[in-house]
C-alpha cells in the first residue's frame, strides 16, 4: 500500500510520503477507480482534507484500500457504500440521493438516461423494497438489511462495478 501511494507522488515528494497529501487527480488514476462511476464520491468519503479538495493522506489511502479489500467484512463494505451513496451526507438515502445513484449507474448520456416516469417508478420500487419504517428514506440499518439479503454484494465487494 505504501509503495502504491508513494508511486503516485512526484519523485521529489516520495521520501516524505507519510506527511504528504495525494491530490485527487492522482488518486483517480488508480485502475480500481478509473472506471468506477462513484470515483469522485469515493474520494470525498475517504478524504480527511480540511480544504475540501478530496486529497488523501497515506492513512486515508489505507482506509480506502482496506474497505475495498477482499478481507473487509460485509458490514464495513455496506457502511462505506451507504456513505458513498448518501450524496448530501445527511445520514439517509433520500429520493434525491437515489436519483443520483441511478444516474451514476446508468450514465447521464441521452441514450442511457431514464425518463422522469422511469426514474420515479424505479425509486418507488427501491423504497417499497427497502424503506422498512416507511419514512420515505433509507437509513443505514435498512440499507444493511437489504445488503444482507444480497449475496452478490458480499461476493463482489459491494463497491466494485
Last residue of a domain, one of 23, 53, 68: 68
pLDDT above 70 (res 159): no
**Phi then psi for 92, rounded to 5 degrees?**
-140, 155
Q: Are residues 55 and 20 in the same domain?
A: yes
Q: Average pLDDT, whole number, for the chain? A: 92
The runs of H, that is alpha helices, within the chain are 2-7, 24-27, 31-34, 39-46, 58-68, 74-85, 95-106, 116-130, 140-148, 151-156
Enumerate residues 6+ apart whose C-beta is below 8 A from 121: none
Is this prediction's pTM over 0.85?
yes
Q: Are residues 25 and 53 in the same domain?
A: yes
Using pLDDT thresholds of 50, 70 and 90, give the confidence band for residue 154. Answer: low
What CA–CA distance (Å, rounded) separates 25 from 54?
9
Name the maximum alpha-carbon separation found in the chain: 55
pLDDT tens column, 112-127: 789 999 999 999 999 9
Q: Are residues 153 and 105 in the same domain?
A: yes
Q: Are residues 22 and 36 in the same domain?
A: yes
pLDDT at 155: 56
CB 147 within 8 A of CB 159: no
> Residues, the chain, total?
161
Using pLDDT thresholds of 50, 70 and 90, give the confidence band for residue 150. Answer: confident
pLDDT at 23: 97
Last residue of a domain, one of 17, 37, 68: 68
pLDDT tens column, 54-113: 999 999 999 999 999 999 999 999 999 999 999 999 999 999 999 999 999 988 677 778
Tell me which residue range forms the domain holding 89. Answer: 74-157
CB 122 within 8 A of CB 102: yes
What CA–CA distance (Å, rounded) separates 148 from 74?
8
pLDDT at 24: 98
Amino acid at each position: 500500500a505504501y509503495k502504491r501511494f508513494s508511486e503516485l507522488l512526484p519523485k521529489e515528494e516520495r521520501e516524505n510520503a507519510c506527511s504528504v497529501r495525494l491530490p485527487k487527480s492522482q488518486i483517480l488514476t488508480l485502475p480500481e477507480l478509473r472506471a468506477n462511476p462513484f470515483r469522485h464520491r469515493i474520494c470525498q468519503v475517504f478524504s480527511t482534507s480540511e480544504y475540501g479538495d478530496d486529497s488523501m493522506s497515506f492513512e486515508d489511502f489505507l482506509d480506502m484500500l482496506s474497505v475495498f479489500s477482499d478481507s473487509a467484512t460485509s458490514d464495513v463494505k455496506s457502511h462505506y457504500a451507504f456513505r458513498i451513496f448518501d450524496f448530501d451526507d445527511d445520514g439517509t438515502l433520500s429520493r434525491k440521493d437515489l436519483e443520483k445513484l441511478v444516474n451514476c449507474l446508468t450514465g447521464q448520456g441521452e441514450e442511457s438516461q431514464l425518463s422522469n416516469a422511469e426514474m420515479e417508478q424505479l425509486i418507488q420500487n427501491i423504497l417499497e423494497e427497502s424503506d422498512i419504517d416507511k419514512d420515505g428514506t433509507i437509513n443505514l440499518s435498512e440499507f444493511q438489511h437489504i445488503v444482507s439479503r444480497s449475496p452478490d454484494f458480499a461476493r463482489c465487494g459491494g463497491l466494485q462495478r
